[in-house]
Amino acid sequence: MSTKFYEEIINNYKKLYETKEDYDMKIYVGEKPNIKEFHAHSFVLKTQSESFKKTFINKEKKEGYFILNSNHSPKVFEILLRRI
């Protein structure tokens, strides 16, 4: 397959993350009072990251969303999400 095809797929994932369309996950990152809420798609995270895949084992949705909490730096976490 051509490089253009893969670039298009990558750009589509970026657009999906940026628009937040149909997200099913809320991730709260940071420590009080500096907590940032991220919206993501569990399918993308599970397919792109073994760590996230393990996180979803036996995880249930609450009010229609998977909820994760992390005390990592919000800036670093956003970079991570954009790379996935």
Q: What's 75's domain CATH number?
A: 3.30.710.10
Q: How do the pLDDT tens digits run along the chain, 84 residues long?
A: 678 888 888 888 888 778 778 899 999 999 988 899 999 999 889 988 998 899 888 889 999 999 999 999 999 998 888 887
Distance CA 41, CA 26 (A): 9
Q: Are 16 and 44 in contact (CB under 8 A)?
A: yes
CB-count exposure of residue 62 (10 Å: 0-12, 13-18, 19+): exposed
Domain count, the chain: 1
Could you tell me which of 15, 19, 13, 12 has the C-alpha nearest to residue 49?
A: 13
- Domain of residue 14: give its range: 3-83
Distance CA 68, CA 1 (A): 36
- What is the reported pTM? 0.79
